[in-house]
């Protein structure tokens, strides 16, 4: 298979990766079943090419069926899927940052930004947002539905992942809507980006500013408490 990244892009990414600080492990879960996972090969190749651009990045490859226990451990329930982990003294640091589907097109930006995010271990969120996340008493699950051609989607994905990095109670997942149409239909995704909060307790359409997403999470949690 031909290289997915040309030399110009590789040089740009190498420059960005000068900002990497701590090691990052990428755990990829794929499938040999082409009908089940049309873009597994391309997703794996993309991750191989990206992680080869820095000694601080490593890639581990698993089969979602043969390694079902490992997939379940990291809450990966669809292929292609992958998780970004921090690494410290041989320990894995799971911040709840997940991808479901290939990070192609504009979502390549999300992948690169998230690798920096996990490596630097700094969310860069506002003090108000951090205070809100520290006050959480129950889990928050964010699913950000995207398409490769959406220029606004990376902002929504990275914001959700920033929140996951900041709080152990937040898990956030990019979902490529066209690769997982049943999931997109379940949550009535009609435009992207769409951030679904706690399996439909709340929904944000568009690349919402940080404070707006905080308010929508707050409302979704209140709704869950009332129910």
How does pLDDT run across 188-217, given as a tens digit for each residue? Answer: 999 999 999 999 999 999 999 999 999 999
Confidence of residue 140 (pLDDT cuts 50, 70, 90): very high
Burial 10-26, CB ≥16 within 10 A → b, else e: eeebeeebeebeebbbb
Provide the percentage of residues in the chain whose pLDDT is more than 70. 99
Tally the residues of the chain. Answer: 227
Which residues make beta-bridge pairs with 121? none
Q: What is the mean pLDDT of the chain?
A: 96
What local confidence, expressed as pLDDT, does residue 225 receive? 66
pLDDT of residue 226: 54
Cis peptide before 3 (omega within 30 of 0): no
Is residue 110 a contact partner of residue 153, using CB atoms and an 8 Å limit? yes
pLDDT band at residue 34 under the 50/70/90 scheme: confident
CB 173, CB 142: distance < 8 Å = yes
Residues 6+ apart with CB under 8 A from 197: 140, 141, 142, 203, 204, 216, 217, 220
> How do 24-30 and 57-63 pair as beta strands?
parallel
* 100, 187 Cβ separation under 8 angstroms: no
């Amino acid at each position: 298979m031909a290289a997915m990244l040309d030399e110009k892009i590789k040089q740009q990414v190498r420059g960005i990766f000068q900002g990497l600080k701590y090691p990052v492990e990428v755990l990829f879960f794929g499938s040999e079943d082409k009908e089940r996972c049309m873009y597994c090969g391309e997703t794996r190749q993309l991750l191989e090419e990206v992680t080869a651009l820095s000694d601080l990045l490593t890639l581990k490859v698993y089969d979602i069926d043969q390694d079902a226990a490992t997939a379940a451990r990291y809450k990966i329930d669809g292929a292609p899927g992958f998780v970004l982990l921090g690494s410290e003294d041989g320990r894995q640091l799971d911040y709840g940052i997940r991808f479901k589907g290939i990070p192609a097109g504009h979502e390549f930006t999300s992948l690169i930004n998230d690798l920096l995010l996990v490596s630097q271990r700094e969310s860069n969120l506002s003090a108000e947002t951090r205070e809100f996340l520290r006050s959480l008493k129950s889990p928050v699950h964010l699913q950000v539905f995207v398409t490769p051609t959406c220029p606004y989607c990376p902002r929504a994905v990275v914001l959700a992942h920033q929140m996951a990095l900041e709080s152990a109670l937040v898990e956030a997942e990019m979902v490529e809507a066209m690769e997982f149409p049943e999931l997109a239909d379940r949550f009535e995704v009609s435009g992207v980006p769409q951030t679904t909060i706690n399996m439909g307790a709340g929904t944000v359409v568009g690349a919402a500013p940080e404070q707006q997403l905080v308010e929508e999470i707050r409302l979704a949690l209140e709704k869950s408490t009332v129910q």
